[in-house]
Amino acid sequence: MEYTFLGKTGMKVSRLCLGTMNFACQIREQDCFRMMDEALAMGINFFDTADAYGAGLDDRGGAEKIIGRWLAQGGGRRDAVIIAAKVFGHCAAFYDRYEENSATDGLSRYKIFKHCEGTLKRLQTDHLEIFQMHHIDHNCSHQEMWEAMDVLQKQGKIVYVGSSNFAGWDIAECCMTAKLLNKQGLASEQSLYNLNNRMLELEVIPACRRFGMGLIIYSPLAGGLLGGRPQKQAGRRTSEAQQQARSKNRDKLERFEKLCVDLSQSPANIALAWLLHNPVVTAPIIGPRTVEQLMENKQVPEIILSEKTLQQLDEIFPGPGGEAPKAYAW
């Protein structure tokens, strides 16, 4: 496994991040335990979760609870992993029947404190390495958010603050507010980015580079679209929505899969390796449903794509034309 610094921070993370969105709702607890153990054995030290993950176990919060019980086994597990959690949406697993009626999405000081407390309790830990804002909240000032995060940092409950699903201007405004308040600023952004959806290249990637932020990628396989032919895969890729998406992109996918055959690599591995060729990208989040799927991605950080291959991928999956404003202006 290869490692890199998370943006301009001094914290090193693995080039693959284990996503836990399927924990509790699609993967049994004992299989989740086995997957996390195997991830550690592979050298993956970076786990991503959220209080909203794990529907089906006490409504929400199920993924965090499973991770917490895994960590509670000891054996150095907690010290071996870097945990990125999130705050924004309503988490019914934490609120009681009176509070949930008044709970709303957002990033208020109250909300940040409340959700951090709940996440730490479910994870059975006393701190988070990264606490990510799951979405932008335009109804709450950046100053209020930063003051809340600053309290949590001083209490030792969180180390770094990250964003997720922020626009480029949101990142800039948030970081500049942090600078004015003499705060550390954002350490990372987590966004949707893959070969079939390259809109991030317009403004978010340049913003991350400008402010020295790590970039964590979710949906690196476009929800399974870039993972290979449906008959060879299981789960989301066989859904009606995926069949429609594949039909819409049939020509591109056939050319892509042929190129992967020529490279003697699976489509999933090539799609993940392409992301890692961007110097701003810290790690894509992989969300396997089985240990076998996890093992298939083990060699991704070691795959080197030639300039010719990168050019071929650009021809199959054209980006937005570069960074803004050059992508659309002189």
Quote the CA–CA distance of 96 and 133 in Å, as a whole number.
23
Segment 252-290, tens digit of pLDDT:
999 999 999 999 999 999 999 999 999 999 999 999 889
Task: Choose between 101 and 149: higher pLDDT.
Answer: 149
At residue 245, the pLDDT reads: 81
At residue 242, the pLDDT reads: 76
Q: Which residues contact 284 (CB under 8 A, 6 or more apart)?
A: 16, 17, 216, 217, 218, 220, 272, 275, 276
Q: Which residues contact 246 (CB under 8 A, 6 or more apart)?
A: 225, 230, 253
Q: Is the confidence at residue 18, as pLDDT, over 70?
A: yes
Contact (CB, 8 A) for 89 and 105:
yes
Listed residue (216, 304, 193, 211) closest to 13, CA to CA: 216
At residue 59, the pLDDT reads: 56
Q: Is the confidence at residue 231, as pLDDT, over 70?
A: no
Q: 55 by DSSP, 3-state: which? A: coil
Distances 6 to 18, 145, 162, 174, 259 between C-alpha atoms, Å? 15, 22, 11, 18, 31
At residue 91, the pLDDT reads: 64
Phi, psi of 239 (to 5 degrees): -70, 160
Quote the CA–CA distance of 108 and 144 in Å, as a whole number.
7
Quote the CA–CA distance of 65 and 60 in Å, as a whole number.
10
Which of 60-69, 82-91, 174-183 ranks highest by mean pLDDT? 174-183
At residue 233, the pLDDT reads: 47
Q: Give me the percent of the chain exceeding a pLDDT of 90.
A: 79
With b for 16 or more beta-carbon neighbours within 10 A and e for fewer, the 283-316 pattern comes to bbbbbbbebebbebbbebbebebeeebeebbeeb
DSSP string, 69-126: HHHTT-TTHHHH-EEEEEESS--TTTS-TTGGGT--SS--HHHHHHHHHHHHHHHT-S
At residue 92, the pLDDT reads: 55
Taken in order 213, 153, 108, 143, the sign of the CA dihedral is negative
CA 13 from centre of chain: 13
List, in sequence order, the alpha helices (H) in 104-249.
109-123, 142-154, 168-180, 204-210, 240-248
Task: Choose between 217 and 27: higher pLDDT.
Answer: 217
What is the token pair recorded at 22? Answer: 């399927």
At residue 58, the pLDDT reads: 52
State the average pLDDT over residues 221-232.
Answer: 80
Q: Give me the percent of the chain exceeding a pLDDT of 70.
A: 91
Region of poorest pLDDT, from 3-17, 84-98, 276-290 = 84-98
Contact (CB, 8 A) for 45 and 92:
no
pLDDT band for 230, please (50, 70, 90 cuts).
low
Kindly list the structural domains of the chain, giving each domain's residue range(s) and its CATH number in brackets, ordered by start: 3-224+267-304 (3.20.20.100)
**94 burial type by CB count under 10 A (0-12 exposed, 13-18 middle, 19+ buried):** buried
At residue 25, the pLDDT reads: 81
DSSP code at position 197: B
Q: What is the pTM of this model?
A: 0.91
Quote the CA–CA distance of 268 and 227 in Å, as a whole number.
4
The strand pair at 12-14 and 3-5 is best described as antiparallel
Q: Which residues contact 325 (CB under 8 A, 6 or more apart)?
A: none
At residue 237, the pLDDT reads: 45
Phi, psi of 137 (to 5 degrees): -120, 100
Catalytic site residues?
53
